[in-house]
Structure 1
Amino acid sequence: MTDAATGPAIDAVSDWQRLACDSVLLDGFHALKHAVRFGARIPVAVTTDRRKTLDLAAALAPDVRDTLDALLTEVPATTYTSLVPRPHPTAVAALAVRPSREANLEALARTPRTAPVVVLDNPRNLGNAGAVIRLAAGFGVTGVVMTGTLDPWHPTVVRAGAGLHFATAVERLAVAELPSGPVFALDPEGDDIRALKIPDDAVLAFGSERSGLSPDLRARGDHLVSLPMRPQVSSYNLATSVAMTLYHWSVTGGRAF
């Protein structure tokens, strides 16, 4: 389209500016696709090329194509870049309503659980945090909880999570507020995970990339668990550790999809 904004584009920009401070930024086609699939409320969505975006949906996600057709407003490229901190290659962005804390806490507290809760203890890397949420959604975990100061709904975390925050309960809690259930804390001094079966109601706790588990969470642990690792290798990436642990849960009795 031309650089001149049309009436619908002007309305979309007005809605965006009004809602942006209190909304979740969905950055890119895949984040929008996943948010739609998992029931997010999306008041505004923009793209620089509706036809191209809908063709992409028809090819990769036909189940959401009609919904995107109704949601998307085409805006000039200069307008799109003014709305987002870092333009995405797909030139698609949207704003979604963040699930209420009360709803997430209810989901985390519900028992009996059919899948673990993942806890990231004082994580530091936004990209790693998002990757963990993406993994957790893929395994169908009950939720992802973060302790410490990192905002699990930070735009960079949502981008790394490909919009899959809406597929599970994502919250920040203190150690004392963690959901009930046996805590399996990952630690190099723990028992080899290959000798254990992780129950569906487990709380799986992973330390920060830099300093490991905090004393409070280590003390809360019912079981210390280690991942197999070659001698002289210092550690695994956080997301890799979560993936290995969730895979072990899935093959030792975790629910099948």
Structure 2
Amino acid sequence: MSGTDEGGGPGTADAVRGWRELAGTSVLLDGFHALKHALRFGARVPVALTSDKAAALALAADLAPDVADALDALLAETDDATLRALVPRLHPTAVAALAVRPSRAANLEVLASRPRTAPVIVLDDPRNLGNAGAVIRLAAGFGATGVVTTGTLDPWHPTVVRGGAGLHFATAVERLDIAELPPGPAFALDAEGEDIRGLKLPDDAVLAFGSERSGLSPELRARAEHLVSLPMRPQVSSYNLATSVGMALFHWSSLHGPAGGLPGAQD
């Protein structure tokens, strides 16, 4: 970008101006790791800002050399005060970016496609934004087809995206009514269900999890073909939502292998 300096190098003024124009309609990528993951999975990122480009590029060289060149070309440096005015809750890495949200139609096509090679996760009326983000991060890590929420929570809320570390772009994330859920055999997690350790979850399963407060809704329970329980010590009332999803996906992957394989841990 060209333009006069606004606390950073050449192009900063245009980058800040572009941010202000796009902020209301774009996905906020909060921090280096969110931007790194979004770039790895093909997100369109029209603007990215930092108050310390050298530090951001040093992180890239150490943790994400695969996107280092893209970050070098994309990041515009501005002063800390300007950045904090644009992103009040600035990430400790002092990096923020705006991305284009994936097409809803494209996500719905992915969710509805058959045969699937990995489950779809359904969060039934979740309430905690951080939990929803953690689930999306898990789903991306296991190669799940997508994450669907019912109810009022927006799965693309900035706090959810922050909790998901930018991995919304690695899986299909949408909000749907229960009647609109993707096809496939539905397995709903419930304390009264069959022990998951005795089941083989199919690749095209729809794995449904109730809300942190009230569990499965009657509508979702009616949609489910199978009720499944996780092993739990007596007198322990429940697991955290993201923990439950992680346990179920691990059980699935241990029997089938995750979509695309797991080449190994990566920051």
Q: Same fold per TM (> 0.5)?
A: yes
Q: Specify the alignment match of 1:229 in structure 2.
A: 232
The alignment yields a C-alpha RMSD, in angstroms, of 1.2
Alignment map for 1:47-196 (pairs within 5 Å): 47-196=50-199
Q: Which residue of 2 aligns with 1:198?
A: 201
Q: Secondary structure at the match of 2:83?
A: helix
Contact kept? 1:199, 1:254, Cα under 8 Å = no
8 Å CA contact 1:3–1:77 kept in 2: the answer is no
Deviation at 1:254, TM superposition (A): 3.5
Residue 63 of structure 1: SS of its match in structure 2? helix
Matched AA of 1:205: A
Shift, 1:7, TM fit? 5.2
- Picking from 6, 27, 30, the partner of 1:27 is 30
**CA 1:18 to 1:196, structure 2 compared with 1: closer, same or farther past 3 Å?**
same
CA contact (8 A) 1:16 1:95 kept: yes
Count residues with an aligned counterpart: 256
Give the Å deviation of 1:85: 3.0
Match of 1:43 among 23, 41, 46: 46
CA contact (8 A) 1:35 1:166 kept: yes
- Give a deviation string over 1:61-120, Cα, whole Å, max 9, x none: 000000000100000000110111301100000000000100100010111000000000
Name the TM-score, length of structure 1 as normaliser: 0.97
Instruction: Give the AA of the match of 2:15.
Output: A
Rate the CA distance shift 1:174–1:50 in 2: closer, same or farther, 3 A: same
Cα deviation per residue 1:6-44 (whole Å; 9 max; x = unaligned)? 552211110000000000000000000000000000000
Q: Once the two structures are aligned, what percentage of the paired residues are identical? A: 75
8 Å contact 2:39–2:67 — kept in the other structure?
A: yes
Aligned CA distance change for structure 1 residues 47 and 232 (closer, same or farther; 3 Å): same
User: Where does the alignment leave 5 or more consecutive residues of structure 2 unmatched?
Assistant: 263-267
**TM-score between both structures, scaled by the size of structure 2:** 0.94
| Cα contact 1:206–1:213 (8 A) shared by 2 | yes
Distance 1:185 1:3 in 2: 53
CA contact (8 A) 1:46 1:92 kept: yes
- Displacement, 1:51? 1.1
Indicate if the aligned counterparts of 1:115 and 1:254 stay in contact, CA closer than 8 A: no
Unpaired segments ≥5 residues, structure 1: none
Q: After TM superposition, where is structure 1 displaced by more than 6 Å over at least 4 residues in a row?
A: none
Amino acid of the structure 2 residue aligned with 1:60 = L
Matches within 5 A, 1:245-256: 245-255=248-258, 256=261
2:11 to 8, 12, 15: 8
Tell me the equivalent position of 2:265.
none
